[in-house]
Amino acid sequence: MHLILAMMKHETNTFSPLRTDWARFEAWGAFTGDSARQAFEGTAMPLGAYIKLARERGASFAIPMAAEAMPSGPVERDAYERMANAICEEVAKGCDGVLLDLHGAMVTQDEEDGEGELLARIRKIAPDIPIAVTLDLHTNLTRRMVENCTALIGYKTYPHVDMYEVAEQIGRIVLDSMEGKCRPVMSWINLPLLSQTLKQGTDDEPMKSLIAMTREAEAQPGILAASVFGGFPMADIQEAGTSVIIVADGDREKADKVRDDIAKRTWAARETFIYQHEPLEQAVARAKTLTDGPVLLLDHADNTGSGGTQDVMTVIGEVIRQGLEDVAVAAVWDPEAVQQMAKAGVGSTVTLKLGGRTDMPSIGRTGEPLEITGKVRTVTDGEWIVRGPMYTGVTVKMGPTAVLDTGKVQIVIVSRHHEPWDTGVFRSVGIQPEHKRYLILKSRIHYRAGFAPLAKATITCDGHGVTTSDNSILEFKRVRRPIYPLDRLNEDTLLPPAAD
């Protein structure tokens, strides 16, 4: 048996001004061949699971591409074709099966559905080839994705700490089908619900109950996999939305029933998928009354893990204005500031115009730097290995990194975008986050993987940025209409017919 294993991942924020060229993939990690095996074997990533399965079955395997970039704007043509062509060319050489680690919300300069396009190309080359697909919980599920694979599954956790487990599950299903042990059939639906990622945490309602339903479904005889996708609402595409897919062993009728049960519960909970705002000044003032730390302050509108520019200073500026003390920030993207600090040297006092390097035309804002004075506390190369439960074993490369200490606030400043989901973002530069009173994190939900065990309280801070949860400042042009909450669908709106 010969298998093709591959990773091609990007969560595309169509409102983001950040370029997604090949260099952005290289900055986070782009590997081929044996270098890909070395990078991912033994990690808690889907490719790690696929490699394990191949070895268990005594199969040979090739990894033509393993690439991922931090979320940003649409993927440029050259970058997409480089990845897709590498995978398709390897399939064309001949194989018995394909195991893919994709995202599910990739938008390119030419295609709204980057994953569906890749799968359709593979199917054209090898119409009968078995294909397993692992997708992110924020997938915008499309017909082309479903029709061009054998079986697919999504993560059941947000933050995503089960990537390895779900990849192993779907990989086994497809490999078993190749041996005649099962016959996967899929039933799916995409609801007209543009739920917000800030309300998709799987430790919170309504996702907590919906995920429980998928686990209960998988415990039933004949149900091989069940997934509910929260969707990614920052991708303004026709088929964006919340969806459900069931993989059954030959029993389509049973799959339909399970799908509809979960979809109806999802639709009934649509109001709870929408974030309720609080004025920033009020949120920071409330945080100031809390004396037991760490208190987490989430700068969620500038979450680089959803395509934020990571250089908006609104929340940091308000925290400084209100005089909060013993604060650490992760992280501000500002390569120029890092260079200035490195040139000045550790121990030097510098005055910087920090952040605000990026204009955000989609929300009508220009970059606004914050003038700030502090001491250069640390300068590093920004490399460290994740030890927490998400991306375990993966090497993070933040690029040249520095810490600016104002006396009250310590700010981690990076040269490459990186969402703070692991405490290594602080520890690697000499900050012990558990001893801080406040931690400002440019994150939405992934921070929980590393920081939830430390937190005494968590407050969402509604600043500015292209990952805002305020739909009123976003101009949706492509998404299907009507869709909730952009359109206030009547309470008696019936569950839409199945997408298939």
Q: 316 and 233, same structural domain?
A: no
Q: How far is CA 400 from the centre of its chain?
A: 23
pLDDT tens figures, 195-223: 999 999 999 999 999 999 999 999 999 99
pLDDT tens figures, 229-281: 999 999 999 999 999 999 999 999 999 999 999 999 999 999 999 999 999 99
Report the number of distinct structural domains present in the chain.
Answer: 2
Instruction: Please give the average per-residue pLDDT across 329-342, as a whole number.
Output: 98
Give the per-residue pLDDT at 489: 76
Instruction: Please give the average per-residue pLDDT across 150-176, as a whole number.
Output: 98
pLDDT tens figures, 282-292: 999 999 999 89
Would you say residue 476 lies in a domain?
Answer: no
Instruction: Please give the average per-residue pLDDT across 180-193, as a whole number.
Output: 97
Q: Which residue has the tokens 């000044």?
A: 281
426 has a pLDDT exceeding 60: yes
Q: 295 and 241, same structural domain?
A: no
Q: 261 and 165, same structural domain?
A: yes
Q: Torsions phi, psi of 85, nearest 5?
A: -65, -40
Q: 263 and 330, same structural domain?
A: no
Buried b / exposed e across 429-460, counting CB within 10 Å, b at 16+? bebebeebbbbbbbbbbbbbbbbeeebeebeb
Which token pair is 435?
């001893």
Q: 351 and 217, same structural domain?
A: no
498 has a pLDDT exceeding 60: no
Would you say residue 492 lies in a domain?
Answer: no
Domain range enclosing 267: 2-273
490 has a pLDDT exceeding 90: no
Of 250, 273, 296, the one marking the end of a domain is 273
Give the per-residue pLDDT at 494: 47
Give the per-residue pLDDT at 488: 82
pLDDT tens figures, 11-64: 999 999 999 999 999 999 999 999 999 999 999 999 999 999 999 999 999 999
Do 393 and 42 contact (CB within 8 A), yes or no? Answer: yes
Q: 314 and 257, same structural domain?
A: no
Q: What is the mean pLDDT of the chain?
A: 96
Residue 16 is part of a domain; what is its CATH number? 3.40.50.2300
Q: How confident is the model at residue 491 (pLDDT cuts 50, 70, 90)?
A: low
Do 419 and 305 contact (CB within 8 A), yes or no? Answer: yes
Would you say residue 474 lies in a domain?
Answer: no
% of the chain surpassing 70 pLDDT? 98
Helices 46-56, 33-40: crossing angle, 10 deg rounding = 100
Q: 211 and 76, same structural domain?
A: yes
Report how far apart, in Å, the C-alpha atoms of 216 and of each of 11, 163, 219, 261, 378 are.
Answer: 29, 19, 5, 12, 49
Residue type, 125: I
499 has a pLDDT exceeding 90: no
493 has a pLDDT exceeding 80: no
Burial class (CB in 10 A: 0-12, 13-18, 19+), 221: exposed
Would you say residue 351 lies in a domain?
Answer: yes
492 has a pLDDT exceeding 90: no
Would you say residue 88 lies in a domain?
Answer: yes
179 has a pLDDT exceeding 60: yes
Burial class (CB in 10 A: 0-12, 13-18, 19+), 335: middle
> Whole-angstrom Cα distance, residue 445 to residue 197?
8
Q: 48 and 154, same structural domain?
A: yes
Of 255, 273, 291, the one marking the end of a domain is 273
Q: 427 and 301, same structural domain?
A: yes
Give the angle 96-83-116 at the CA atoms, nearest 5°: 70
419 has a pLDDT exceeding 90: yes
Do 374 and 380 contact (CB within 8 A), yes or no? Answer: no
Q: 370 and 257, same structural domain?
A: no
Give the per-residue pLDDT at 39: 95
Would you say residue 102 lies in a domain?
Answer: yes
pLDDT tens figures, 465-484: 999 999 999 999 999 999 99
Q: 118 and 220, same structural domain?
A: yes
**pTM score of the predicted model:** 0.96
Q: How far is CA 88 from the centre of its chain?
A: 25
500 has a pLDDT exceeding 60: no
Q: 185 and 252, same structural domain?
A: yes
Of 238, 273, 308, the one marking the end of a domain is 273
Would you say residue 481 lies in a domain?
Answer: no
Instruction: Please give the average per-residue pLDDT across 135-159, as a whole number.
Output: 98
Do 211 and 228 contact (CB within 8 A), yes or no? Answer: yes
Would you say residue 126 lies in a domain?
Answer: yes
